[in-house]
A = this chain, B = another copy of it.
Amino acid sequence: MPINLFEYEELAKKQLSQMAFDYYSSGAWDELTLRDNRVAFERMKLKPRVLIDVSDRNLSTSILGQSLQSPLLTAPMAFQCLAHEEGEIATARAAKKAGVGMTLSTMSTKSIEEVATQGNYSDINSSSNNSNNTPRWFQLYIHKDRDLTSNLVKRAYAAGYNALCLTVDAPVLGQRERDRRNEFTLPAGLNLANLASISDLEIPTEHGESGLLLYFAQQLDPAITWKDLAWLRSLSPLPLIVKGILRGDDALRAVEYGAKAIIVSNHGGRQLDGAIASFDALPEVITAVDGQVPILVDGGIRRGVDILKALALGASGVLIGRPILWGLAVGGEAGVTHVLDILRNELSVAMALCGCSRIQDIDLSLVR
């Protein structure tokens, strides 16, 4: 059994098709940002505090009034049925069991409703003080077809999702060359579960091209601007989270236009190769926003101690992407559960070794 997230990746690589593994693991162009996302965490050195009672550690926290047993959510990742037949449902169940958040992708292979039903989301919005009120976010891509988009938001709200997470770093799809070489498309039997019920949208195929790239070019809207956030917010009472910010000025603008949280992200190195590592972009965003809304970060987190580093810089939580898929590929729901368990355990040890009993004890003085 894998004992860390790197071993999960190795094992998943053996179990997945080349096309699926490449789709999940690759980055754009030369994968410089993909690698730098990881290295950025390794560069940061910690100065632990000692002789503090850490016998009773509590990793729970809350973001937007939503409770987390540990400060993390699964990142929105498309096509999870490529990894395991239960796909997003398995992820949802594992997240629920672990008491962490989940973000469902617009491009999921299980529908908004299936995930909500299986994940038992129904009562979330009706009982805001419920201890069960964990982040169950719906990630949104805005399609050119605004009715389709609006429908997605309404379905997510109706199904019990408790925030809307707008991806803003993908006006066009990043060029992932491994997908292109593989002529990536969904295998027979998988489809865009949220979109098929509305139209006949499917991942197109074309010789020498990634089907996903074609889909993006045909269906998604590269014209959206800050002003569209008002329209988006009008579609439901759900709080709006903006994902894909790497600059202080954009972060401030997001707050100004009503975002209730910001996710510092470069889309796992899959969009603009050459973009700053998300962890390296965190300080500028934290400084600019100055506590007005919570800041999360994703990209390159592979150890619990990385979460501590992000929190030390001022993040309120992190999103975990590819490792969730490796868990899914290796063991379905149980695999995701184990991945989350490893992260939680590593974070707990890292906190103990840094003299932190609670999430709030993690502060800037811990980093060099």
Contacts and interface: CB of A to CB of B under 8 A. Distances in A.
Among A29, A32, A249, chain B packs the most CB atoms within 10 A around the CB of A29
What is the count of identical protomers in the complex?
4
Interface string A1-32: 10110000000000000000000000001101
Given A55-B221, A169-B353, A177-B4, A50 B244 contact: yes
Interface residues of A, number: 68
Contacts of A353: 169-172, 174, 271-272, 275
B47 A246 contact: yes
A4 B32 contact: no
Interface stretch (A88-96, A113-121, A223-231, A319-327): A223-231
Contacts of A271: 353
A48 B267 CA distance: 12
A59 to B, nearest CB: 14
A52 B305 CA distance: 35
Interface in A45-85: 45-55
A250 interface: yes
A50 B354 contact: no
Contacts of A246: 47-48
A29 B154 CA distance: 44
Interface in A279-335: 280-281, 284, 303, 305, 309
Given A55-B221, A221-B55, A245 B50 contact: yes
Given A3-B180, A272-B305, 11 more contacts: A29-B305, A32-B42, A46-B272, A46-B275, A48-B272, A51-B225, A52-B225, A171-B352, A172-B349, A271-B353, A274-B350
Shortest beta-carbon contacts, A-B, top 9: A55-B223, A272-B353, A50-B168, A45-B276, A55-B222, A53-B223, A172-B352, A51-B226, A47-B247
Interface of A: 1, 3-4, 29-30, 32, 36, 42, 44-55, 168-172, 174-175, 177, 180-181, 208, 221-226, 228-229, 244-247, 249-250, 253, 271-277, 280-281, 284, 303, 305, 309, 346, 349-350, 352-355, 365, 368
